[in-house]
Amino acid sequence: MKKYYIICSLSVLGLASCTKDISSFNEQTKLAAQVPAATLFTNGVRNLSDVLASPNVNRNVSRLIVQQWATTTYPDEPNYDFTTRNIPQTFWTILYRDVIANVKESKRLIPNDITITEDVKKNRLAIADIMEVYTYSILVNTFGDVPYNEAIDASVTFPKYDDAKTIYEDLLKRVDADIAALNTSAAGFTAVQDIVYGGNITKWKKFANALKIRLAMTYADVDAAKAKTAFEQADAGAFAASADNASITYFSATPNNNPIWADLIQSKRQDYVAGETILNKMNALSDPRVPQYFKPNDAGVYVGGKAGALNTYSLFAKPGAKLEDPALPALLLSYDEIEFYRAEAKERGFTVTGSAEEHYNNAIKASIVYWGGTTAQADAYLLQPGVSYLTATGDWKEKIGTQKWIAFYNRTIDTWTDVRRLDYPKLPAPAAARSGFPNRLTYPTNEQTLNGANYTSAAAKIGGDKVETKIFWDKF
């Protein structure tokens, strides 16, 4: 017995000595203990691009809202049911957690990087901030008032919601500071790290000016004088050709492929067909982009499915072959968008070189050529009475709004903004609408349950947490 107890005691002592310091068990041996600032920036931008490009009904349903696509099996989202799949929660979480949190942390780390010069640090900080400004503008355009000053702050458990108009005004100030900070004589992120412009600071400066134009024009019905000033300050420095487009590079190999390919091809699903609203309009105008945007139905005809209905896949046109390319670039901001803004600015009385018609024509030509059409096709299209700026139906809002809606195929978060802002085109109600036209997404369920006091205050301030409630810039 004595030997037994001695052995046990020694065993216990041995165990105690082996486990005296257990902190080593917390050491991560397979993942990086620290992530480089540039990696965080790249990851944030990639996450942003993925969610904006995605057609997945759990993440981004804007193609269905603006009726460029229709569905075959699940009619909930085309009928404005965005809560069954909790789409607001997913979209909100991706933009805050996967985009803004990454970019903010990148900005925090950049000043401590001893491997780069101060000028490079300044450029990287400005570029990261530009992408944060871009992302917040999407959040405001989607939800209205959102957490801003207290967002992504570890010391704030329950962030307050900021006034959407005040956020927009601050975003304009921030982008001004970023434009001033960019130094084209110095480098920024490397070509590998910068998946938008490959390290080209001149193009980032153009992008920042183009973003300022977008913010200004979205804001134009709220404060025309402020929008006019901002537009005129940015116009000369913004995009001058399609070569200036801000686009994300994707690759054929997974997982670095365009998410549209994942939903259309890799999933082997047949969920989407062309929307009859856009396809009927394009067919009526003999639009040369029809075979670029869509593939015909099984009978070889370009016919679209009804929004909100159960559409048989074989009977309707499908998303086009270009969208099945896993390496299809994703646009964040484009030359045709800026040309449409210039046409609009001219109509609003802002100082713009050239006529509204010239900029309208430039935008449409750029879109047709971008999608694979020819300048001859674009010229012929613009001569049609239903397209020509001089003879097309309606006022400038209808002309620009309709053609922008067509040109922004595959840019549907931005399309949704312009449909609300310009009030054109007039989209028909879907087959079994759950509400009126959605002017916003409702706040996420998590905000209602975990940040209840601030959620309740924000919902009351904007006029109710309903999809019909308008964003502050949607004045008419």
On whether the CB atoms of residues 263 and 56 are closer than 8 A, the answer is: yes
pTM of the model: 0.93
Q: How many residues does the chain have?
A: 476
Is 323 inside a domain boundary? no
Q: What totals of helices (H) and strands (E) does the chain contain, helices first? A: 19, 8
Cα 147–150–151 angle (5° rounding)? 55
Quote the pLDDT of residue 29. 58
Domain count, the chain: 1
In a domain, 412, yes or no: yes
Least Cα distance to 43 among 192, 152, 253, 207 occurs for 192
Whether 210 maps to a domain, the answer reads: yes
Give domain status of residue 367, yes or no.
yes
Cα 295 to Cα 310: distance, rounded to the nearest angstrom: 19
What is the extent of the structural domain holding 344?
Answer: 37-256+328-462
Residue 301 lies in a domain: no
Confidence of residue 117 (pLDDT cuts 50, 70, 90): very high
Q: Tell me the per-residue pLDDT of 258-296, one tens digit each, with 9 for 90 and over.
A: 999 999 999 999 999 999 999 999 999 999 999 999 999
Q: What is the per-residue pLDDT across 61-111, written as a single tens digit (0 to 9) for each?
A: 999 999 999 999 999 999 999 999 999 999 999 999 999 999 999 999 999
Confidence of residue 13 (pLDDT cuts 50, 70, 90): very low
**Whether pLDDT at 15 is above 90:** no
Evaluate whether residue 305 is within a structural domain.
no
Mean pLDDT calculated for residue range 334-344? 98
Where residue 198 sits, what CATH number does that domain have?
1.25.40.390
Residue 147 lies in a domain: yes
pLDDT at position 369: 98
Spatial separation of the C-alpha atoms in residues 236 and 219, rounded to whole Å? 19
State pLDDT tens for residues 434-449: 999 999 999 999 999 9
The pLDDT, as a whole number, for residue 253 is 87
Confidence of residue 4 (pLDDT cuts 50, 70, 90): very low
Lowest-pLDDT choice from 28-42, 110-124, 244-258, 310-324: 28-42
**pLDDT at residue 11, as a whole number:** 39
Whether 320 is covered by a domain: the verdict is no
How far apart CA 278 and CA 425 sit, in angstroms, is 10
